[in-house]
Amino acid sequence: MKYIHFFGCSYTAGDELTDDIYFPWKVGCKTTAEYYQKRVEHIRFHPEFDYIKYQEENKKKAYPAILGGINHASNGASLKENILRIVQLINSDTPIDAIYLQIPPYLRELYITEDNEISSLILNSVEVTVARSYIEAKISTHDKINFIVNDVLELISFYSFLKRKNINFGIISFGIEMDRRRLALAGSPFEFLISELDRVEVIDFKNYLNDNSKSSRTLGYHGLSLYTRNT
């Protein structure tokens, strides 16, 4: 058995992949916004809804399961949360043959709860329920370049850390998140970071996504198909 560990956010966690089963009414929604709003309300206001089971069912359909890996990803996870969880894994007795990290969006921040649970704050969330005043203050006083520079520095440092540990690893991107970081850095005083970012070897999953319009799906705000090609 190979112990291949995958980390990332909702793309890797497979969020919404079972929504045809859990929310069959989605076919009647006229817009993505309508569908997503109803989905959030259903999860939030139906106490009988088993969100943990829902997440586990999604993971069974996500690409790490297709590839026979162990899926550690969680919805809304930040880059730093994933890095912390990977370092935690490395310092445990868990067998490791390889580690893959999918790059989440920026505007997310590691958050350690009062119970020392590892979590993340989504700084551009329209529905802030945790640390509201902190998030509102940070968003109003920090430009997006601040978050992107921090993210890129963390990724560069972590890439070097894994190489020093001599661990088989890969960095996964669905294309848009790395592109957004590069675009924001271009023309800024921190453009020099692009050359450092380019040294990070990245597996671009856009090359392996199913581009057949008849079989692809738009999944809420994720907006891309998570089905791998039969190659």
Sequence spans of domains, the chain: 4-12+62-210
Torsion, CA 53, CA 40, CA 223, CA 81, rounded to 10: -60
Q: Which of 36-40, 174-178, 180-184, 210-214 has the highest mean pLDDT?
A: 180-184
Can you give the pLDDT at residue 129?
Answer: 66
Give the phi and the psi of residue 121 in degrees, each rounded to 5.
-100, 135
43 or 190: which leads in pLDDT = 190
Can you give the pLDDT at residue 31?
Answer: 86
What percentage of residues in the chain have a pLDDT greater than 90?
57
What's the pTM value of the predicted model, to 2 decimals? 0.86
Can you give the pLDDT at residue 229?
Answer: 35
Longest dimension (CA), the chain: 52
84 or 209: which leads in pLDDT = 84
Class of the CATH-defined domain 4-12+62-210: alpha beta
CA distance 126 to 49: 23
Give the phi and the psi of residue 85 in degrees, each rounded to 5.
-65, -35
Can you give the pLDDT at residue 224?
Answer: 45
Whether the per-residue pLDDT at 171 is higher than 60: the answer is yes
Strand-pair partners of 209: 228
Whether the per-residue pLDDT at 104 is higher than 90: the answer is yes
Q: pLDDT grade, residue 228 (50/70/90)? A: very low
